[in-house]
Amino acid sequence: MELSDVRAKIDAVDDQLLKLFLERMDLAEEVGAYKNEHHLPILNKERERAVLARVTAAAGDQERYAYHLFSTLFELARSRQAELIDAPTRVGAQVRASLENGNQLFPQTGLVACQGVEGSNSQAACDRLFPRGNIMYVKTFDAVVSAVEAGFCKFGVLPIENSSNGSVRAVYELLQEHSLSIVRSTRLCIRHELLALPGVRLEDVTEIYSHQQAIGQCSRFLDGLKGVKVIPCGNTASAAKLVAEAGNRRAAAISSHACAALYGLECIGDRIQNSDNNYTRFICVAKDPVIYAGANRVSLIITFANRPGALCETLSKLAPVGVNMTKLESCPVSGSDFEFIYLIEMEADLRAPNILAVLEEMERGCAQFHFLGNYAEV
């Protein structure tokens, strides 16, 4: 038989498969309508397990492929049924409240809470996000959150992730504990320098100050120094200010080139970060849930039931609606017996059809589900 003949037969089978698939999806809609009317959950694991056992038993040596085929069919049916469910969810309420303000543009001005002092990377992120903004400096990440929650500032800017040193866990923990929304993000290329008082040489230094994240990003450089004590502080700009004001000729700071001029210091070590491709992402948070025009990124924090396949079942809901997941990171929960939260980011606009329905379906299947925001990165 010629290849063209085989392909003609495959095309004929595909036509039958498509007809049966559409018929099956219509029936799945009927099932979804019944579940909605009688307030039944979408997932019926017992029913799915029984069907999978039946089809794999009948598939002979193709059982593995039959299992995956019918698992996919179940996933597609659940996704369609989720669109028909009108039971309220927390994420649904959040998103609808966020969309009430229409398709408004992100503001260029506003009072912004920023951890650190003048010259910090957070200040540079504030300037990028708010070209005509007014900055209120505070000492800690917690203080940024408190300033926004209390209404002293409309927005707050926080570092969320570094390409070399990973996620800023303290910020993710604050996002879990407080009801703030991410409304924008940006990324900065970070170049670290070792700064000291004029005339100080590298061999004179016995103390180096900086933020913990910057210390991690410069670990290779620091590991090569002998007899030097590394001391964490509030942020890189605060470290430079401390060295300048203390007048200690044995001290240096890991900071930025801008801080050298700002605080009268000299560079005694240039580009000391582990990688030249060193970027930090900053988020802008607000008290009021708003989704501004151009939003194309969604951030979530999720915990799953401790059972086989729970993670796969939840994340597999994204593919049928064409959502690309850009981040998946597991983090242990402090004080727990190896329980984990999952930090998730995806490319999506919740104004698009079906996307919110999928998030609502994901929430129904998760032990905890935190919607952090739908926003644009600039």
Reference 169, options 217, 126, 209, 212; nearest CA is 212
Query: Are 206 and 228 within 8 A, CB to CB?
Result: yes
Task: Find residue 283's DSSP bridge partners.
Answer: 158, 185
Average pLDDT for 240-257: 94
Q: How confident is the model at residue 221 (pLDDT cuts 50, 70, 90)?
A: very high
Two tokens, residue 329: 């990171």
Instruction: Quote the CA–CA distance of 59 and 92 in Å, as a whole number.
Output: 41
14-18, 69-73, 115-119, 334-338 — most confident range: 14-18
pLDDT at 138 over 80: yes
Q: How confident is the model at residue 291 (pLDDT cuts 50, 70, 90)?
A: very high
Average pLDDT for 218-226: 93
| Per-chain mean pLDDT for the chain | 90
**Residues contacting 15, CB < 8 A, separation 6+:** none
Check residue 368 and report its DSSP letter: E
pLDDT at 337 over 80: no
pLDDT at 86 over 70: no
Two tokens, residue 295: 């939003």
Report percent pLDDT > 70 for the chain. Answer: 98
pLDDT at res. 352 = 86
Query: Are 142 and 168 within 8 A, CB to CB?
Result: no
pLDDT at res. 363 = 87
Average pLDDT for 132-137: 94
Instruction: Quote the CA–CA distance of 194 and 268 in Å, as a whole number.
Output: 6
Reference 263, options 224, 209, 203; nearest CA is 209
Specify the length of the chain in residues: 378
pLDDT tens per residue, range 355-375: 888 888 888 878 889 999 999
Average pLDDT for 324-348: 86
* Domains of the chain (ranges, CATH numbers): 3-84 (1.20.59.10), 89-101+294-378 (3.30.70.260), 193-269 (3.40.190.10)
Query: Are 271 and 150 within 8 A, CB to CB?
Result: no
Q: How confident is the model at residue 185 (pLDDT cuts 50, 70, 90)?
A: very high
Reference 211, options 189, 188, 230; nearest CA is 230
Query: Are 375 and 292 within 8 A, CB to CB?
Result: yes
Average pLDDT for 156-166: 91
pLDDT at 333 over 80: no
Give the three-class secondary structure for 80. Answer: helix
pLDDT at res. 81 = 82
pLDDT at 124 over 90: yes
Give the three-class secondary structure for 340. Answer: strand
Which of these ranges, 76-80, 175-179, 288-292, has the smallest mean pLDDT? 76-80
Burial of 10 per CB tally in 10 Å (0-12, 13-18, 19+):
exposed
Using a cut of 0.85, tell me whether the model's pTM lies above it.
no
Query: Are 272 and 221 within 8 A, CB to CB?
Result: yes
Q: Tokens 């969309």 map to which residue?
A: 99
CA 190 from chain center: how many Å? Answer: 20
Query: Are 112 and 155 within 8 A, CB to CB?
Result: yes
Query: Who has greater pLDDT, 94 or 145?
Result: 145
